[in-house]
Structures are given as C-alpha cells and as structure tokens.
Amino acid sequence: MQEFRTAALVAAHLRGLGLEVREKVGGTGVVGILRGGKSGKVVALRADMDGLPVTEQVDLPFRSRVRAQWNGQEVGVMHACGHDNHVAILMGAAEVLAGMRAQVPGTVVFLFQPAEEGPGGAEPMIRAGVLDDPKVDAIFGLHVWPGPAGDVMVRGGPTMAAGNGLNIIVRGRQTHGAAPWGGVDPIVTGAQIVLALQTVVSRNINITRLPAIVTVAQFNAGIRSNIIPDSAVLVGTIRTFGREQRAEVLAAVERIATQVAASAGATAEVRLDAGYPVTANDEALTARMRGSIERAVGAEHVQVAPLITGSEDFSYFQERVPGVFLFLGITPRNEDWTKAAQNHSPRFFADESALPNGVRTLSSLALDFLTGAPPAAPTRAGR
C-alpha cells in the first residue's frame, strides 16, 4: 500500500480524459469511471500497481534506483512483475475508450489496484464497493508474461493456482547434543515430515485432472551445535487448481505431518493461511470474447495459456462477477522466451513493443462486451 506517486499520476491522467475519478479506494487504489454516450451494461478493467522488494539488475536508462523499507530492512524496489506495464496499458485503454465515448454503449470502470503482491488489494477495493457502484457485469484483467512479444494467451476455467502459506511447528523435547536419547529430536522429525510431504502430490492426488504443488522452502531450528532444540519450524507454500483438490491437499498435509510427528514422540501443529483462491476464467465468457481478442491482435497471435502455478488476487473479483484473466507475451521476438528471466527476477525485462497489443486487447474486450459483438468463428480441426 505504498503506491502513492503512481496513484497520483493515474488519477491525474484519468481526470485529464474527463473521467469520474475516485482516489484512496481500498488504500491507494484509484477508480476511473467512463460513462458512455448510450446506456447499457457495465464492464470493469483492472490493473495492479505495486512493485517488489527486488534490486533491478537490468542495464537500462530507466532502471529503478528506488530504495524503501521492507520488513525492517532497506531494500531496492523495482517492477519485477511488470505491474508498471499493466498500469501503462490500462491508462492507454482509458485514453482509447474516452476518445470514442459517444460510441460506448454502457459504462467502463477502470480499476487501478494496490498490493497485489501482498497483503492483497482486491478485497479492500471490493469492500469499498468498486463492483457495486456502478454494478459491474463482467471484468477483464491482463498480466505480462514470458512469451513472444505481443502474443496474447488465454484459457477457460482454472488458469492460476490458489496459494496457501504453510507453517508447521514441530515440538519435541530439548536435550544435550551428546545425549540425543534424553529428548525428542524435532530436527530429525521435521526432516522426516519434509520427505513424507513429497508423497502428498505424487501418491495422494490425481494429477491427471489438475496439477498441485507442496513446497517446503524454509527449515528453522536450533541455536547451538551441542543442543538439540525443543522445536523446529517448517515454512512453505501449497498450490492447487480447484476447491476439492485444495481441500484434499490441505487434509493430506495435516494428516501426514501430525502422524509422522506422533510416530517419533513429537507433535506437529499445522497452520495454513487462507491465501488467494484459484484464478478461474468464466468458460462461457472466455469462449465468447476470444473473437474480440483475435480481432484486436490477429488470430495468429492468440495462444492457449498454460496453467500457471503463481497466484493472483484477481480471483476475488472473479468470485463476484464473471471474469477473464489473460497474459501478454513480453519477450523480444528475436530471443528464446523459454529462457527469459521469470517474473520476480532482478533481471526481469519487458519488451515495450508488446504494450500496444495490450491496449488493443483490453479496449476491444470492453467495447465488444458492451456492444455484444459476435464470438470467434469455430476453430477448424487441426489448427
């Protein structure tokens, strides 16, 4: 929630276009409302605005040199996930649609959201009424991603994973490192839990339906070389693509952790944070709007998006109204996009030649949804 300058720039731009502007929505969020020349439905377009505590390592004239406080430390800050691109694209779409206001049969709501990277800005904006005043009928969002610059990737149904934070506290009994028989070792027990958790996906979940991930990324225990501590803490993440699957995975994690600990005479307390839900594109809306995307960028530049194991709080908007979340390729076309620096990397780079296709896509989606433009033609077999 530190997007103060960005929010001010966005608000000034929207006012310059003659839009109704609301600031400090759900924190630092900005809402722009374009009321068209004719009455009709309401469509929302969303962009996130926040950066990340990452020091930029790309040698560019506009490389970020910003420093900020994060968890008590001074760190570098950059747009390592491309949210500056999202803001620019949505500002461009606002300019396009404002320029044809008389032909817009309805209302377009532009949502500039803070804190997608955490703690989450979608829910505060929803609580502030961004989907209710005016009442939104559908929402579209876009994220830059490794892929050929300018290509648009989309799929119906589950698209990005639900994310749950995992925290397991293993409690044993402290003893001298030279007399391990005098206690219960939480480090050995924790190691056994880490290994056993590898069976959650490989042996408990039907991955022919949808994939899942259980990762333990931190193992914290002990303060001295000759003391077996009384506890150990395991920290990680869980990613799933469906509500039933999510429940199965979470239940398996708790069962395995507690039973492995019990077998060693220890205990395990499993704590799971709620995390973001699955980003699931409305199937009917996705099918209907594919033609709009193809008309915007050319059918040859529209691809089926892969399942992405990252999480997105755009999912909260989709729980309230039908929505579609797309991806825009931003890897230079003369480079191998499969080897491009991933989002959140200090070497993340977006080819700005892709941004006009982002503007075209969001503008077309909004206008075609409001006008009821025809869907894509049926795809020929073998294409």
Please give the helix or strand (H or E) that residue 152 lies within, else none.
strand 152-154
Instruction: Dump the DSSP string for 213-242.
Output: EEEEEEEEE-SSTTEE-SEEEEEEEEEESS
Q: Respond yes or no: is residue 316 known to be catalytic.
A: no
Residue 312 has which token pair? 């997105």
Residue 156 has which token pair? 């119906």
Q: Respond yes or no: is residue 352 known to be catalytic.
A: yes
Report CA-CA distances (Å) from 34 to 98, 145, 321: 7, 28, 19
| Omega before residue 180 within 30° of 0, cis | no
Residues 3, 56, 276, 316: which is the catalytic one?
276
**Pure H helices in 175-312:** 186-197, 199-204, 243-263, 283-297
Residue 37 has which token pair? 């020349």
Query: What is the CB neighbour count within 10 angstroms for residue 264?
Result: 18
Give the C-alpha separation, 341 to 260, whole Å. 38
Single-letter amino acid code for the residue at 275? G
Query: What is the CB neighbour count within 10 angstroms for residue 272?
Result: 14
Measured in whole angstroms, the distance separating CA 118 from the mean position of its chain's CA atoms is 10
Give the C-alpha separation, 115 to 50, whole Å. 6
CB 191 within 8 A of CB 260: no
So which residues are the catalytic ones? 276, 352
